Amino acid sequence: MNLALARLIAGQICIHASMTGMRMAAPLLALREGYSAISVGLLLALFALTQVFLALPAGRYADRHGLKRPVKYAVIVAAVGTAVAVLFPVFPALCFAALCTGAATGVATIALQRHVGRAAHDATQLRQVFSWLAIGPAVSNFIGPFFAGLLIDHAGSEAGSTTGYRAAFLMMMVMALLTWLWVRQTHELPPVIAAGKKGEQKAWDLLREPHFRRLLILNWLLSSCWDVHTFVVPLLGHERGLSASAIGTILGSFALAAALIRVLMPFIAERLKEATVLCVAMAITALLFAIYPLMPTAILLGTCSVLLGLALGSVQPMIMSMLHQLTPPARHGEALGLRLMAINGSSVLMPILFGYAGALVGVAGLFWLVGIAVGSGSRIAFTMRTLEMPEQPH
């Protein structure tokens, strides 16, 4: 990993931590104020709502303008949203902050992934660089919830005070602003296509490729596992009387495990087959979801969280490598936008469905339903094991 890639990873960590910290703190504040699980589900859905509409335009914008311009705008939007939550820690402001930080993270992620993918030269290097880049969200999934939980418990006069929540939101604003300090020195790559040619192609044409469609389905199933874990752990912890720090630590342990497996993956990329990794990860995830809600203590919940992080943490680099090999280099931004739009379209609806399903079948039933779905979906990954993808320049 060179210095330029390290800077991009640091920038991704900062912008993503701004969102993950908000995504942990905002539901807890809503629960403290007496809002229901359904309201919390609606709040969590807003983190993905803007990405549904912005993902494809953001991909096209990145294809035209490169890395730094979309990242700069993303930083501004995230800083504004978190600042509003600092000044007005009420439910409507939390909804606004969710929209802003979610949109900013989506736009910045597409630009960063496109830039890194274009800099790679073959399939092996793709797996390596995306394994390094995937460390960013894993680390930020720890930094955001963990330190937000500490500030909520200890920054105010008492644990869970409004001052503590304001301190957490302020930290998320600072993290967003730090993103630009890391990214602004990056050298832009030359454009692949002229902007005027973009109108001749439709992004939906990419969906005619059957392997691309299957890859989106797998990505959706696996992202649902992340969504249900993020949604259910605060509810499970709240039901069992766990502190904000304990809940943040459980979520953080998941992130650390995902980061650990991603640190190891660049060194073994030559020995990995993307579809095989996906198939194994989905089977392990289904098993863990079967036993997760049966764990009675925070330590056992944390253990399941670690194991789940190891399984799901291996997934994103493989998906990103396959996506870049299955799509034309000139349309990587569009392909990334379609991917993000698909998974976040479901992320808008899934927390709402989680809220209703949790009310109907309980937390355990929700875990089991998603586990059955991802276990069944592993068959798709198994059928892609024989897929041969050419080594192509980027």
pLDDT of residue 392: 45
Structure tokens at 275: 């579809």
DSSP 127: H
Select the highest-mean-pLDDT range: 37-51, 119-133, 379-393: 37-51
Q: Is the pLDDT reported for residue 197 higher than 70?
A: no
Calpha distance 336→313 (Å, rounded)? 19
Residue 330 φ/ψ region, left for φ over 0, alpha for ψ in the -120 to 50 degree band, beta for the rest: alpha
C-alpha closest to that of 298 among 249, 348, 225, 364: 249
C-alpha closest to that of 106 among 25, 161, 60, 48: 48
Is the full-model pTM beyond 0.75?
Answer: no
Residue for token digits 């009675």?
Answer: 296
Contact call for residues 223 and 373 (beta carbons, < 8 A) = no
pLDDT one-digit tens code per residue, 124-165:
777 778 878 878 877 887 888 888 888 988 887 788 788 989
